[in-house]
């Protein structure tokens, strides 16, 4: 087997075996985690490999053993803010198993996506994870026997397991929190009605209101855009039609920022007069708000981790089926509970900040601190 | 050469050659872009390969030909908002050449970075691109003969070519725009002084002021944090000490958002009384601002594309050296020129929006429109 680079002094399995004092076959089995041998032997081989900076040729392994320990990660979101944390979680879970991840940004172009899938299959990836920016079902990938898991999206044909955040539960969680803090006349301002996520969050909100015996009707939900501009405009509409409003649950943090802007312009105190909660727990938006914004966190890194787990299970011969929803959490801050979770507290290991959150302590989505 | 999957009906080079009516050698050369042959022959082979969904076994190619057509992309930024566009640009440039990209998120952990580099070298990647969230120099990667290019960061040892945005030029660009629109008493509020990017932007600003014969001193630069909160606080400080301020250039869009908040609270009109410009041209921040924010764009996708070009040149035997700076552009909006660039105009092919920008038309950084 030609070992490219061995001429340039790269260590071979022969060198590792010699240093460890074992046969080439034993060294190979030890490094591949195969075969029965004493732990001491395996450790000695591993130490020799480390000492020699031995890097097994994965291409030779791929041709011989069939597995490439590489996975394709396809996104339609241009690595936008929804798929990034999903991908981070997946990459983290796979990397721990020494599985490398090919990133493929389809830019919402079906032809580009087809070319990527062909290229990934040509590379004999062990499997694929497909992420998106919406939970809306999308056409499934055709990959033959190569397993596919959907994360933050799902297949129209339902032919692969999918992992998505529980938007319905997230809406319920926010509404219950507002109700628990004494609010009674709660409005809901959200994104376009064509988004499944917007409809699910609204339904969760309405069901929590009904459970508490509070008045609210689907007709009261203000569907619009995922933007601050819409938040500004809709808050005017809401206060015009329901001047007694004492809380607003918003379908995104950006909408909530716009709502807070309008409330300030109208001279209403947040949270004194009107509490505001958002959705996404997106750090630059929630910590930049004044007061800092209470928000529903979709735990997107966990969505990615669980998707990676499904893929590993499929590779191990135990494919999952159906759609798995990951419960949301709530990060409580000053926009609903005075004095809560404004200042970043202790740095977390990821470089973000732990936000003090009385109801459910939760780090905000990490964000690079600057240029 | 064992072709995994051929038993399952996967087309082989033999099938492609037969369908195209050429020898296996000719088919192989046509698909690898090697050898002299008529364009018609090459096209016929390509058509046959497409028709049969032929996927060449890249692992066999790697063992035989030495190149793997895979590149490692290492980030310390947890795929944060600075490295994402850089990576998108690099991936786009490499993908056009059918080069696949391994994504590796080191999470600022040197041990994790070392493991990634080992794994990438074990995979015999053709080269590596290293991105960061700051232009600050970092320890260089040790990769032997495998070429490395730095993008949005640079090596302390200067041992690989680096591509970084021109922060100094960006600061100058913003100051000149404010001066050109008639402002004379311009403040500068920015991030921590320990950031090279903050110091360079400030120097560009000060030099443009001096060129125009306007007063400003390094002592007047308000260094602080990359946050809205700092923008809010610093605007109070600035107006307290320089009540005649008629413009503020901010070192980030988040700082600018905070500045606008304080100006509104103080009853100052933007841009009527005081113009405000930011840095980053980060869509959710600039388009969410009221009025929409004029901002310096670092063209991070171009930084990534140029870095990928340097890597391809190195693979072709023409390695670049030194640090290449990419000029910034200015996206002009309503925060400096009344009525400019507020509403998204036409959708751009990437799903973002073209922002009307009288001075330098430029699409804002794309951002997923919602959940």
CA dist B48 → A68, B12, B99 (Å): 27, 11, 22
CA dist B216 → B204, B223, B240, B294 (Å): 12, 15, 16, 22
Tell me how close the Cα of A102 comes to any Cα of chain B, in angstroms: 4
Evaluate if residue B288 carries a pLDDT over 70: yes
Given B103, B144, B229, which is nearest A103 (Cβ)?
B103
Cβ separation A371–B55 shorter than 8 A: no
Decide which of A343 and B178 is more confident. Answer: B178
Token duo for residue B321: 């050296």
Q: What is the pLDDT of residue A62?
A: 53
Q: Which positions 304-323 of B are in contact with A (Cβ < 8 Å)? A: none
Element (DSSP H or E) covering residue A210: helix A196-211
Tell me how close the Cα of B183 comes to any Cα of chain A, in angstroms: 26
Cβ separation A88–B108 shorter than 8 A: no
List, as own/partner pairs, every contact residues A136-139 make where C-beta atoms lie below 8 angstroms and the sequence separation is at least 24, other chains included.
A136/A195, A136/A196, A136/A197, A138/A76
Phi/psi for B200 (5° steps) reads: -65, -45
Q: How far is CA B63 from the centre of its chain?
A: 33
Q: What angle do CA A146, B59, B17 make, to 5 degrees?
A: 90
Q: Count CA atoms closer than 13 A to A343's CA, side-chain side.
A: 4
Winning range, highest mean pLDDT, from B16-30, B56-70, B198-212, B307-321:
B198-212
Evaluate if residue B4 carries a pLDDT over 70: no
Residue B203: how many other CB atoms lie within 10 Å:
16
Cβ–Cβ under 8 Å, residues A56 and A269: no
In chain B, what residues touch A63 (CB-CB under 8 Å)?
A: 1-2, 4, 57, 59-60, 63
Among the listed ranges A233-247, B70-84, B262-276, B332-346, which one has the minimum average pLDDT value?
A: B332-346
Evaluate if residue A305 carries a pLDDT over 80: yes
Question: What pairs with residue A275 in β-bridges?
Answer: A247
In chain B, what residues touch A95 (CB-CB under 8 Å)?
A: 104, 116
pLDDT digit string, tens, across residues A104-159: 888 888 888 998 998 899 888 999 999 987 777 888 998 888 999 999 999 988 77
Q: What is the pLDDT of residue B364?
A: 46
Tell me which fold the domain B6-57 belongs to.
434 Repressor (Amino-terminal Domain) (1.10.260)
Token duo for residue A304: 């990615």
Evaluate if residue A349 carries a pLDDT over 80: no
Q: What angle do CA A230, A231, A234 make, to 5 degrees?
A: 80
Q: What is the pLDDT of residue A65?
A: 53
Q: What is the pLDDT of residue A132?
A: 83
Tell me how close the Cα of A195 comes to any Cα of chain B, in angstroms: 8
B175 exposure class (CB count in 10 Å sphere: 0-12, 13-18, 19+): buried
Q: What is the pLDDT of residue B92?
A: 84
* Alpha-carbon span A361 to B24, nearest angstrom: 63
Tell me how close the Cα of B43 comes to any Cα of chain A, in angstroms: 17
Cβ–Cβ under 8 Å, residues A41 and A26: yes
Tell me how close the Cα of B336 comes to any Cα of chain A, in angstroms: 19
Could you tell me which of A96, A190, A168, A161 has the C-alpha nearest to residue A314? A161
Mutation target among A285, A353, A363, A370 for the B interface, most CBs of B within 10 A: A370
Q: What is the pLDDT of residue A148?
A: 95
Cβ separation A288–B228 shorter than 8 A: yes
Decide which of A186 and B55 is more confident. Answer: A186
Cβ separation A195–B257 shorter than 8 A: no
Is B246 within 8 Å of chain A by CB? Answer: no
In chain B, what residues touch A10 (CB-CB under 8 Å)?
A: 144
Tell me how close the Cα of B71 comes to any Cα of chain A, in angstroms: 9
Q: How many CB pairs under 8 A join A and B?
A: 232
Cβ–Cβ under 8 Å, residues B369 and B352: no
Q: What is the pLDDT of residue A93?
A: 87
Decide which of A190 and B61 is more confident. Answer: A190
CA quadruple A148, B74, A350, A369: dihedral sign? negative
Q: Which positions 49-108 of B are in contact with A (Cβ < 8 Å)? A: 53, 55-60, 62-64, 66, 68, 70, 73, 77-84, 87-88, 91-92, 95, 98, 100-105, 107-108
For residues B45, B71, B63, A12, the Cα torsion angle rounded to the nearest 10 degrees is 180
Evaluate if residue B242 carries a pLDDT over 70: yes
Phi/psi for A133 (5° steps) reads: -100, -5
Cβ separation A4–B63 shorter than 8 A: yes
SS3 A118: helix
Q: What is the pLDDT of residue B368?
A: 36
Cβ separation B100–A120 shorter than 8 A: yes
pLDDT digit string, tens, across residues A28-74: 777 765 667 787 887 788 778 767 766 655 555 555 556 788 999 99
Mean pLDDT of B36-59: 72
In chain B, what residues touch A232 (CB-CB under 8 Å)?
A: 290
Q: Do domains B6-57 and B167-297+329-363 have the same CATH topology?
A: no
A167-298+329-363 belongs to CATH 3.40.50.2300: yes
Among the listed ranges A197-211, A344-358, B35-49, B262-276, which one has the minimum average pLDDT value?
A: A344-358
Q: What is the pLDDT of residue A355?
A: 33
Among the listed ranges A234-238, A344-348, B190-194, which one has the minimum average pLDDT value?
A: A344-348
Tell me the residue ranges of DSSP E strands in B11-126.
70-75, 100-105
pLDDT digit string, tens, across residues B98-119: 788 998 888 888 888 998 998 8
Q: What is the pLDDT of residue B187?
A: 98
pLDDT range class, residue B55, cuts 50, 70, 90: low
Cβ separation B5–A252 shorter than 8 A: no
3-state helix, strand, coil in chain A (%, to 5): 40, 15, 45
Evaluate if residue B223 carries a pLDDT over 80: yes
Given B8, B167, B367, which is nearest A80 (Cβ)?
B367
Q: What is the pLDDT of residue A35?
A: 64
Indicate left, alpha or beta for B150 from its phi (over 0: left) and psi (-120 to 50: alpha): beta
Q: What is the pLDDT of residue B61?
A: 55
What value does the mean pLDDT of chain A take?
84
Cβ separation B4–A63 shorter than 8 A: yes
Tell me which fold the domain B167-297+329-363 belongs to.
Rossmann fold (3.40.50)
The pTM assigned to this predicted structure is 0.78
A70-165+301-326 belongs to CATH 3.40.50.2300: yes
Q: What is the pLDDT of residue B28?
A: 76
Given A124, A197, A369, which is nearest B226 (Cβ)?
A369
Peptide bond into B70 cis (omega under 30): no
Domain range summary for chain B, segments of one domain joined by +: 6-57, 70-165+301-326, 167-297+329-363
Is A8 within 8 Å of chain B by CB? Answer: yes
In chain A, what residues touch B280 (CB-CB under 8 Å)?
A: 371
Element (DSSP H or E) covering residue B306: helix B300-315
Among the listed ranges A138-147, A242-251, B325-334, which one has the minimum average pLDDT value?
A: A138-147
pLDDT digit string, tens, across residues B131-175: 987 777 888 988 888 999 999 999 988 778 999 999 999 999 999
Q: Which positions 155-214 of B are in contact with A (Cβ < 8 Å)? A: 167, 191-192, 195, 197-198
Cβ separation A368–B80 shorter than 8 A: yes
Evaluate if residue B30 carries a pLDDT over 80: no
Q: What is the pLDDT of residue A10?
A: 59
Cβ separation A63–B58 shorter than 8 A: no
Domain A6-65, CATH class in plain words: mainly alpha
Cβ separation B351–A107 shorter than 8 A: yes
Is A287 within 8 Å of chain B by CB? Answer: yes
Q: Which residue of A has its CA nearest to B343?
A: A229
Evaluate if residue A172 carries a pLDDT over 70: yes
Tell me how close the Cα of A55 comes to any Cα of chain B, in angstroms: 5
In chain A, what residues touch B197 (CB-CB under 8 Å)?
A: 370-371
Decide which of B246 and A158 is more confident. Answer: B246
């Amino acid at each position: 087997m030609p070992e490219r680079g061995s001429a340039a002094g790269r260590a071979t399995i022969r060198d590792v075996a010699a240093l460890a004092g074992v046969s080439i076959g034993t060294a190979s089995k030890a490094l591949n985690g195969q075969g029965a041998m004493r732990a001491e032997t395996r450790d000695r081989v591993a130490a020799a490999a480390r000492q020699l900076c031995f890097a097994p040729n994965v291409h030779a392994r791929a041709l011989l053993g069939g597995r490439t320990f590489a996975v394709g990660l396809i996104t339609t979101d241009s690595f936008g803010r929804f798929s990034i944390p999903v991908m981070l979680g997946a990459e983290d879970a796979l990397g721990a198993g020494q599985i490398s991840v090919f990133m493929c940004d389809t830019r919402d172009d079906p032809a580009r996506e087809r070319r990527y899938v062909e290229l990934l299959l040509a590379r004999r990836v062990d499997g694929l994870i497909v992420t998106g920016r919406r939970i809306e079902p999308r056409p499934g990938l055709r990959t033959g026997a190569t397993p596919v898991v959907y994360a933050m999206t799902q297949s129209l044909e339902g032919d692969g397991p999918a992992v998505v955040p529980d938007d319905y539960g997230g809406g319920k969680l926010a509404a219950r929190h507002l109700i628990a803090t004494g609010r009674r006349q709660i409005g809901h301002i959200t994104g376009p009605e064509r988004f499944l996520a917007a409809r699910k969050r609204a339904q969760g909100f309405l069901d929590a209101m009904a459970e508490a015996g509070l008045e609210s009707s689907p007709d009261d939900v203000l569907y619009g855009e995922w933007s601050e501009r819409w938040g500004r405009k809709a808050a005017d509409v809401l206060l015009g039609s329901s001047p007694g409003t004492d809380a607003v649950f918003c379908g995104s943090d950006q909408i909530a920022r716009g709502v807070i802007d309008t409330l300030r312009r109208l001279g209403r105190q947040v949270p004194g007069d009107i509490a505001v909660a958002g959705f996404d727990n997106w750090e630059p938006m929630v910590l930049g708000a004044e007061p800092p914004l209470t928000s529903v966190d979709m735990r997107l890194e966990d969505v990615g981790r669980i998707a990676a787990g499904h893929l590993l299970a499929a590779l191990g011969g135990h494919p999952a089926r159906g759609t798995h929803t990951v419960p949301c959490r709530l990060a409580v801050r000053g926009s609903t509970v005075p004095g809560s979770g404004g200042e970043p507290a202790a740095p977390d290991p990821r470089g973000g900040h732990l936000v003090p959150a009385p109801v459910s302590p939760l780090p905000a989505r990490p964000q690079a601190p600057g240029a």
